[in-house]
A = this chain, B = another copy of it.
Amino acid sequence: MISEKAKKRFIEIVGEENYRDSAAEKLVYSYDATPNYQAMPDAVMVPRNTKEVSQIVKLCNEFKIPIVPRGSGTNLCAGTCPTEGGIVLLFTRMNQMLEIDEENLTVTVQPGVVTLDMIQAVEAKGLFYPPDPSSMKISTIGGNINENSGGLRGLKYGVTRDYVLGLEAVLPNGDIIKTGGKLAKDVAGYDLTRLLVGSEGTLAVITEATMKLVPMPETKQTMLASYQDMEAAAKAVSTIISHMIIPATLEFLDQPTLEVVEDFAKIGLPTDVKAVLLIEQDGPLEVVVRDMKKMQEICLQSGAVSVDMAQSELEAEALRTARRSALSALARLKPTTILEDATVPRSEIATMVNAINEIGLKHGVKICTFGHAGDGNLHPTVPTDARNHEEMERVEAAFEDIFATAIELGGTITGEHGVGLMKAPYLEWKLGTEGIAVMKAIKQAIDPLNIMNPGKVFAKETRKRVVISK
């Protein structure tokens, strides 16, 4: 609840037009891309600069009003669902690309910049920003930083965290801090930059970011290896890497996923094979040619029935786009699509793929699996219907088994989607009570009144996915 007094003061900060609390507006921001979670905010605010953010946060602290910073809401962990009401903070007026620095190879942006816009802007200057989450056409850099987003190029290039050099952020007390800078090296105190990356808006509001760029790779090649044996495909992943080749992309799609993606994208994907690997290498031409040839050999030796090289960049882009559309394609099957991202050491990919299939059979749940196999980061996905409570119970049980298996194999409950509300009940499986305790201590130290995206990361009690409404 926001009192009339508080509302008046918020409006003094951002102006009438940037404080919105109509029923329609609140409804729009009551959910994000995560199925089955919805809760009404009390208001939506659109600050225009860091100073306004600081004033808003200070006021929220004074009135104990929750704040949920939100990019485009493409996260899949209910991380931006305002489950305890309060304010949803939008960055649509803080969406400027401030500087591309060609000498230091950095780009400085406001949080509301759309990821793909930034990627294209730096590419126009021969520079390269590798993290490419599937949602990059609409996701924002602020959202990417808060979730530490991954993407298809993570294996070779790392994730968002590896590209954040410096941040400006507003702490829950309204203090504005600057971390890092255009610096290759900086060890002045604790690594606040990386503490904020992936903190899901629970510690601070990010208001500016300086990101590292690298030179644009000279060339890129793409191929598709098809398998009639899922395990063989999964095994090829670790074989490639143990041959000292780190491809730019090494993606896995199983047959059920291939079928729906082909139906959606219609680009001639094989649907009569059990699995494919989408493999890309980039870099200097000689190296790319050599690596692709070697990987082709490894795939064939490991039982691929065919390995097809993309004949043009157009064809390659169609393959990548098809892979990126997997979630959208799967979402057409059933009213509810639940996609997870349990992650294992890459040597365990084959074991994990088999385990997922067995878990699906055990619980009578159809699981389509695709994902960043080279990172050990799979996306087992269940097309289901949230209204069917009996089936949802089985889906829930299947995912519990999947998380438990990932942990058992030395993995984690989330590789790139974040904990949010959805995976909070399972966090302890990965971290133990001691790990959770130290994270809670940090949260409490920085945000003692718990106004920053409350309810996220740390679970209250349940281990179930439940529909939350206010």
Contact = CB atoms under 8 A, between A and B. Distances in A.
Interface of A: 101-105, 126, 147-148, 150, 154-155, 159, 161-162, 171, 175-179, 181-192, 194-195, 197-199, 203, 214-216, 238, 241-242, 244-246, 283-284, 286-287, 290, 343-347, 372, 374-377, 410-419, 423, 427, 430-432, 434-439, 441-446, 457
A431 B166 CA distance: 12
Contact of A181 (B103, B183, B345): B345
Contacts of A154: 184-185
A215 B345 CA distance: 17
Contacts of A183: 343-345, 376, 410-412, 415
Q: Copy number of this protein in the oligomer?
A: 2
Given A181-B412, A376-B183, A412-B181, A188 B419 contact: yes
A189 B431 contact: yes
Nearest to A174: B434
11 contacts: A171-B434, A178-B435, A183-B344, A185-B377, A185-B415, A187-B412, A187-B419, A189-B439, A191-B199, A194-B194, A215-B245
Contacts of A190: 195, 198-199, 203, 439, 442-443, 457
A435 B179 contact: yes
Contacts of A436: 189
Contact of A446 (B150, B286, B346, B441): B441
Contacts of A189: 419, 427, 430-431, 435-436, 439, 457
A177 B103 contact: no
A192 B188 CA distance: 17
Most chain-B Cβ atoms within 10 A of its Cβ — which of A159, A178, A179, A244?
A: A244
Contact of A412 (B188, B197, B216, B435): B188
Given A191-B194, A419-B189, A446-B442, A241 B437 contact: no
A154 B184 CA distance: 8
A376 to B, nearest CB: 6
B184 A374 contact: yes
Closest 9 A-B residue pairs measured CB to CB? A215-B244, A445-B445, A185-B415, A103-B347, A182-B345, A184-B375, A175-B434, A194-B194, A441-B445
Nearest to A172: B438
A451 to B, nearest CB: 15
